[in-house]
Amino acid sequence: MTCLICAAELKKRPSFQELLTLAPSKTLVCSACSSTFEKIAEQHCPLCYRYGESEVCSDCLYWQKQGKSVNHQAIYCYNTAMKAYFSRYKFQGDYLLRKVFLNDLKLALKSYREYTLVPIPLSDKRKAERGFNQVTGLLDGTGLSYQELLIKREVKKQSDKSRAERLQSQNPFELRFDKALPDKILLIDDIYTTGMTLQLAAQLFHEKGVKEIKTFSLAR
């Protein structure tokens, strides 16, 4: 078996449990590649997990001034290695890379058993260009169930917008179905930058009477 990122042979010894049950090893990335990704340390913004902050960060202060709440969790820093990962996964279409973080995602999302997982969608045009939704790809790797409750109109890509443009975005989201919604929703995206995308999606659910909304991303 080879590393999903660099294709080096994986030499990890199987654990006692794996030997006992004859289960395959869950290691998908070599130690060298794994070490390039940086998990968010204990010192982070208490609201959005922005690393290196000991108090509420400037992004969250902005949302508070707008009368919005922030209740977000992320696992990894958006460092150089993570940026390269998403370049290959999202923009070069390396779909196998959806499995790289499946163990971390599965472990983190166990804390949200009472919530309905709702991935942020792509517009039909963007999905056709890319071939897949990177967020549902990450979730499919974990085997966890989710509901695609949102659709997205075609707008300018977030990555093509300036920071000011992101913070002034109009809501591109609509509900996919006209039916009762769950009481608790966990909105999931791949990367949290300013928080605008998740705020816009959350706003729609708030307007429809959802009682509790939290957000989650792989990277921040």
**98-154 pLDDT per residue, tens:** 999 999 999 999 999 999 999 999 999 999 999 999 999 999 989 899 999 999 987
Q: Say how many C-beta atoms besides its own lie within 10 A of residue 55's C-beta.
A: 9
CATH of the domain at 198: 3.40.50
Query: Coil, strand, or helix at residue 118?
Result: strand
- Whether 64 is covered by a domain: the verdict is yes
Give the per-residue pLDDT at 160: 66
- Whether 91 is covered by a domain: the verdict is yes
CB-count exposure of residue 203 (10 Å: 0-12, 13-18, 19+): middle
In the chain, beta strands by DSSP E: 72-76, 116-119, 150-152, 173-175, 184-191, 212-219
Which residue positions in the chain have pLDDT lower than 50? 18-19, 21-24
Query: Coil, strand, or helix at residue 4?
Result: coil
- Whether 70 is covered by a domain: the verdict is yes
DSSP per-residue string spanning 24-66: PP---S-HHHHTTS-B--S-B-TTT--BT-SS--HHHHHHHHT
Domain that residue 74 falls in:
37-154+171-219
Give the per-residue pLDDT at 23: 44
> In sequence order, what are the beta bridge partners of 187?
118, 215
In angstroms, the CA 80 to CA 40 distance is 14
Evaluate whether 190 touches 74 at the Cβ level (below 8 Å): no
Q: Which sign does the torsion angle of CA 158, 165, 64, 77 carry? A: positive
- Whether 29 is covered by a domain: the verdict is no
Give the per-residue pLDDT at 154: 78
- Whether 213 is covered by a domain: the verdict is yes
In angstroms, the CA 43 to CA 49 distance is 8
Evaluate whether 43 touches 184 at the Cβ level (below 8 Å): no
> Structure pTM?
0.87
- Whether 77 is covered by a domain: the verdict is yes
Q: For the segment 133-143, what is each residue's pLDDT rounded down to a tens digit?
A: 999 999 998 98
Residues 6+ apart with CB under 8 A from 176: 148, 149, 150, 151
Give the per-residue pLDDT at 22: 46
- Whether 2 is covered by a domain: the verdict is no
> In sequence order, what are the beta bridge partners of 184?
212
In angstroms, the CA 54 to CA 196 distance is 22
- Whether 21 is covered by a domain: the verdict is no
Give the per-residue pLDDT at 179: 84
Domain count, the chain: 1
Q: Which sign does the torsion angle of CA 46, 48, 51, 53 carry? A: negative
